Amino acid sequence: MAQAQHFLGRFAQARQNFGEALRLAPEANDLASATIALGPLSNLESAAGDHDRAVRLWAAAEAIKQRIGGGAPAEVMRVSDPSAAATLARGEDAVGRAWAEGWAMTPKRGGTIRNPRTRSRSDTRRAVGAGVPGRMAGRLQRPMGGGPRADQR
């Protein structure tokens, strides 16, 4: 439902539904489902012009996929790595920092994820912190280190 809302330009509704999926995924100990929401949410944020957030979300999804041994192909999910557009808009250094921040985040099993857009845009950015919706409800670990961006593999 969230992806269809995104395609229809209903970003607020899409964010709410992606947020619900991200809240439920760690509760169900289902990291694969988190990647299914993070990838499209990343593309939504890129379309909305928040390139740093888009890259952080994409990198978080990629890190989780590496950790669990794969995920749904981007072609099936109808998503793409937002790094190229972000590099044009923000520059390589900013994209590298955003990628490292996203790559370092993983949801803690059994945690919860708040809705990513429950307040005004500026308040949400403060609450979201490093960029994963709801900071994965503050239940993030940083065990993975900085991994390679898609263009560096």
Q: How far is CA 25 from the centre of its chain?
A: 13
pLDDT tens digits along 43-73: 999 999 999 999 999 999 999 999 999 888 8
Q: Where are the domains of the chain?
A: 2-145
pLDDT at residue 126, as a whole number: 26
pLDDT at residue 101, as a whole number: 92
How big is the CA angle at 150 (ends 147 and 153), to the nearest 5 degrees?
75
pLDDT at residue 151, as a whole number: 47
Mark residue 114 as left, alpha or beta (left: phi above 0; alpha: psi -120 to 50; beta: remaining): beta
